[in-house]
Amino acid sequence: MSDFLESIADNRIVLVASGDDIGMSQQPSVQAGLRALESLGSKQIRKFSFRDSWAMVAVKGYTNALAEGFQSGYGLTLEWRFGPPRYAATIYQTIPAVRLQWHSVPGKKYHVESSPDLITWTTVTQQLLGTGVLMSYYQGFLDQATVRTTFYRLVQSSGDES
């Protein structure tokens, strides 16, 4: 995770969310990831414990997060508003699922990608055309045994690209 966060260009908006056990491991790679999140401005990432929910919106290169939320136990919604678009991260833990929501920009095209390792990305949606309304992507998991570490990102392109 730290390598991925380091690879993001400055002045890019970064939205990170976790719904379970982030940072409880003492493995060097996990601790490096926590330090990378702190460098983005997280003040709450080390408060995390079993089954807690956490999310943050930050700008790469800034020292303070734009928004950060922490909740002991299940369920957290974090919204950050800065004119259109509005970004939101929702973590559901009562049913294992993830939902990404964003206000779309008319004429812009979007798709969602997922990755097990922040290196290999797979497109998981068709291309979605923004109309200026709230759009979302929902991924439910059949049961707790199928839940694994998965990363998601929203990719936006201009509407005139084919």
From CA 95, how far away is CA 141, in angstroms rounded?
Answer: 8
End residue of a domain, out of 26, 57, 72: 72
Do 52 and 117 lie in one domain? The reply is no
Do 54 and 104 lie in one domain? The reply is no
The answer to the question of residue 42 being in a domain is: yes
Of 32-41, 86-95, 102-111, 135-144, the range with the lowest mean pLDDT is: 86-95
Do 1 and 65 lie in one domain? The reply is yes
Do 2 and 67 lie in one domain? The reply is yes
Do 56 and 123 lie in one domain? The reply is no
Q: Is the pLDDT of residue 91 over 60?
A: no
* 85 cis-preceded (ω within 30 degrees of 0): yes
Amino acid 83: pLDDT: 54
Which residue did the predictor score with more confidence, 55 or 77? 55
For residue 144, what are the domain limits?
Answer: 95-162
Q: To the nearest whole percent, how much of the chain has pLDDT over 70?
A: 73
Confidence of residue 84 (pLDDT cuts 50, 70, 90): low
As a whole number, mean pLDDT of residues 77-104 equals 64
Q: Is the pLDDT of residue 161 over 50?
A: no
pTM score, whole prediction? 0.65
Of 56, 73, 82, whose CA–CA distance to 1 is shortest?
A: 56
Give the total number of structural domains in the chain.
Answer: 2
CA dist 71 → 12, 27, 42 (Å): 26, 24, 14
Taking only the tens place, the pLDDT of each residue in 43-75 is 988 887 777 778 888 888 888 888 888 877 766
Which residue did the predictor score with more confidence, 126 or 140? 126
Do 19 and 91 touch, CB atoms closer than 8 A?
A: yes
From CA 116, how far away is CA 99, in angstroms rounded?
Answer: 17
As a whole number, mean pLDDT of residues 27-42 equals 88
Confidence of residue 152 (pLDDT cuts 50, 70, 90): confident
End residue of a domain, out of 72, 107, 127: 72
Do 100 and 67 lie in one domain? The reply is no
Mean pLDDT score across all residues of the chain: 78
Which residue did the predictor score with more confidence, 83 or 106? 106
The torsion defined by the Cα of 115, 118, 122 and 124, in degrees rounded to 10, comes to 50
Name every residue whose Cβ is closer than 8 Å to that of residue 33 and which is 6 or more positions away in sequence.
1, 2, 5, 23
End residue of a domain, out of 36, 57, 72: 72
